[in-house]
Amino acid sequence: MFQMLGKNKEKTVYFALFTLILTSVILATIFFKNDKEIVSQKTNTSQPDEDITLIKEFFLQKIKSPFINIDYEIKSGDSIQKILKKLKIQNKEIQSIITQYKKYGSANRLLAGNKINIIIEENLSNKDHSIIKFSVPITKSIIIEISKNNEEGKILSKKIITKLYKKNFIAENVITNNLYSSAIDANINPNTIIEFARIFGFEIDFQRDIRKNDYFRIVYDKYIDENGEFIKSGSIHYAYMSVNGREITLYKFGNDQTYNYFDINGKSVEKALMKTPINGARLSSSFGMRKHPILGFNKMHQGTDFAAREGVPIMASGSGTVVKSGWCGGGGNCIKIKHNSTYETVYAHLKNFARGIKKNKKVKQGQIIGYVGTTGLSTGPHLHYEVIVNGKKVNSQKLKLPSGKSLKDSERELFEIHRIKTDVLIAELISEKK
Ligand SMILES: [Zn+2]
């Protein structure tokens, strides 16, 4: 029924077009009487149905694109040369495609039975066609896309991974020098280390708490391709640290969008603010009275200074809204974030701001907002960090932040099940390693 309607509709459209053209022809004959004979001949001899077909073809011709899209099934014994030769592609382009393909595999050994998607531009003046795109699978989950760059007509290629495999990994190490280098030694990629430091950033001051022979263990996801090659890291499921005689175990709990890290008692470790909004820095001047290094007289230092190399990223110590991002005089380039009705933080002497950081921008805890510099009244690269509680500047390093929420009732029960499952997974991962 639907199809019939569609066909009728199509017919009506073409008939309307036909009538329109016929009307113009009649009008034209009035103005150009010389053509009268031919016109009348045509209208007399043609049946309406045939006319519709003719007009249809005329329009199809008009809209016909010079691009041809082919899904070519690879036959055994096929080579790129053979396939493209058959499609009448210019020799020069075939050679460029082969050169690109050779970066990934042998152009004479294609996966028979798989399909290559080819887009060709028909060349009407010259007999050889040119290539727009050539997408060929080299494995079950990798496609090599070779295409012509629009501006320069250059032939380029890229690897497209169509399928990734998620795998749990366990990594552990003794901290010999610092967390970062010990984690790198344990083959953990930098993004995961940063996330690890962020999760523990509420509990541990990485500058002061870490002692030689402290220990960490971490279970996280890695995305790999079918050859086991690392593509990217996923989230951390479990993190353990033994620092300075203290043991902290954290479990990721929640759904993919909203999750949190909880200790063995089901208490969230995440707090409104992180202890230090910067990694790998040294506390160089604490909150309190001091002789100002530039002004020379005694003055209350209303923040905490962290010495770090110029360009080291600075994180938002809590989620909130940027209320200032600009020049603050003595503070140089500075950022102020309002976290809630109680807390605000200030970051000063920045070299520059992270992309998109401006007034009214919402930021997440741990998000990079700017980079260490020495702008304003400053003697060397450092971050001047202030925490403001109810409008009053306080010592960020002594600040007791309200602890995170605790899981209760059914949530707590679910967490306990999740915790046991995670512990079982860890035991399995450990035994696999041995
Ligand atoms: Zn300062």
Tens of pLDDT, residue by residue over 119-147, are: 888 877 767 888 989 999 988 888 999 99
> Would you say residue 1 has pLDDT above 50?
no
Report residue 27 as tokens: 């009008």
Of 15 and 69, more confident: 69
**67-161: what fold?**
Nuclear Transport Factor 2; Chain: A, (3.10.450)
Q: What is the pLDDT, as a whole number, of residue 44?
A: 39
Helices 48-63, 2-31: inter-axial angle, 10-degree rounding: 90
Report the separation in Å between the CA atom of 321 and the middle of ligand 1, taken as the mean of its atom positions. 22
Level-2 CATH architecture, domain 282-394: Distorted Sandwich (2.70)
Distance CA 90, CA 108 (A): 19
Report the separation in Å between the CA atom of 397 and the middle of ligand 1, taken as the mean of its atom positions. 13
Q: Are 166 and 242 in contact (CB under 8 A)?
A: no
- Give whole-number Cα distances, 249 to 186, 198, 234, 253, in Å: 19, 14, 19, 13
- Give whole-number Cα distances, 240 to 49, 222, 361, 374, in Å: 80, 18, 34, 36
Report the separation in Å between the CA atom of 364 and the middle of ligand 1, taken as the mean of its atom positions. 24
- Give whole-number Cα distances, 6 to 12, 60, 433, in Å: 10, 18, 64
Report the separation in Å between the CA atom of 384 and the middle of ligand 1, taken as the mean of its atom positions. 4
Counting other chains too, the contacts that 78-85 makes at CB distance below 8 Å and 24 or more residues apart are: 78/110, 78/112, 79/107, 79/108, 79/110, 80/107, 80/108, 80/110, 80/134, 80/136, 81/107, 81/108, 83/116, 83/118, 84/131, 84/134
Of 406 and 257, more confident: 406
Report the separation in Å between the CA atom of 66 and the middle of ligand 1, taken as the mean of its atom positions. 66
CATH 3.10.450.350 range(s) for the chain read 67-161, 168-262
Distance CA 429, CA 296 (A): 58
Distance CA 413, CA 340 (A): 31
> Would you say residue 26 has pLDDT above 60?
no
**Count of CA atoms in the C-beta half-sphere (13 A) of 251:** 23
Report the separation in Å between the CA atom of 104 and the middle of ligand 1, taken as the mean of its atom positions. 53
Report the separation in Å between the CA atom of 81 and the middle of ligand 1, taken as the mean of its atom positions. 67
> Would you say residue 340 has pLDDT above 80?
yes
The answer to whether domain 168-262 has CATH 3.10.450.350 is: yes
Report the separation in Å between the CA atom of 284 and the middle of ligand 1, taken as the mean of its atom positions. 9
> Considering only CA atoms, which of 187, 235, 241, 193 is closest in space to residue 216?
241
Report the separation in Å between the CA atom of 196 and the middle of ligand 1, taken as the mean of its atom positions. 27
Map residue 408 onto helix, strand or coil. Answer: coil
Report the separation in Å between the CA atom of 289 and the middle of ligand 1, taken as the mean of its atom positions. 11
Report the separation in Å between the CA atom of 273 and the middle of ligand 1, taken as the mean of its atom positions. 19
> Considering only CA atoms, which of 313, 325, 316, 300 is closest in space to residue 381?
313
CATH 2.70.70.10 range(s) for the chain read 282-394
> Would you say residue 55 has pLDDT above 50?
yes
Report the separation in Å between the CA atom of 303 and the middle of ligand 1, taken as the mean of its atom positions. 5
Most confident of 60-74, 215-229, 276-290: 215-229
Greatest CA separation for the chain: 108
Within 8 A by CB and 6+ apart from 301, the residues are 285, 286, 287, 288, 289, 290, 292
Helices 2-31, 36-45: inter-axial angle, 10-degree rounding: 160
